[in-house]
Amino acid sequence: MKIVNSKLWLTIAMLVLVIVPIVVFAMMSVKPVQPGKYDNLAQCLTDKGVKMYGAYWCSHCKAQKEMFGTSFGKVNYIECSLAGGQGQTTECKEAGIESYPTWEFKDGSRLSGEVSLETLGEKSGCELE
């Protein structure tokens, strides 16, 4: 009986010695999500009905996304390219998108190419902080 109890306690001790450091490491490595520098602008654009049409393979779209940094996740982005770059989505065809990136505003006006954050803010009435 003592051997069984000893093995049980040894097993529990080993599990604690392995699991506790893993849990502590996992808790310490999780970093809180910091707001992006342009979160307010990006959210305002979305709230005002502004859309960005783009393609994953487009270098200008990539540069536009990089202007926003982590805040780009709040932008209403529509991917126009089909997998493998083999054509355009129905949504973008129906919208008449001919180049990337294309920014479309609630009034139906558009700006194509890389657009400065200042210009996007001015055109939409959103503040750039």
For residue 129, being part of any structural domain is answered with: no
Residue 61: give the domain boundaries.
39-124
pLDDT at 47: 98
The DSSP code sequence of the chain is -HHHHHHHHHHHHHHHHHHHHHHHHHHHHPPPPPPPTTHHHHHHHHHTT-EEEE-TT-HHHHHHHHHHGGGGGGS-EEE-BPGGG-SB-HHHHHHT--SSSEEE-TTS-EEES---HHHHHHHHTPPP-
If asked whether residues 60 and 101 sit together in one domain, one would say yes
If asked whether residues 14 and 60 sit together in one domain, one would say no
Return averaged pLDDT per consecutive 10 residues of the chain, 129 residues in all.
65 64 58 78 97 97 97 98 93 97 97 97 92
Domain count, the chain: 2
pTM (2 d.p.): 0.73
If asked whether residues 63 and 90 sit together in one domain, one would say yes
For residue 88, being part of any structural domain is answered with: yes
pLDDT at 12: 72
If asked whether residues 60 and 6 sit together in one domain, one would say no
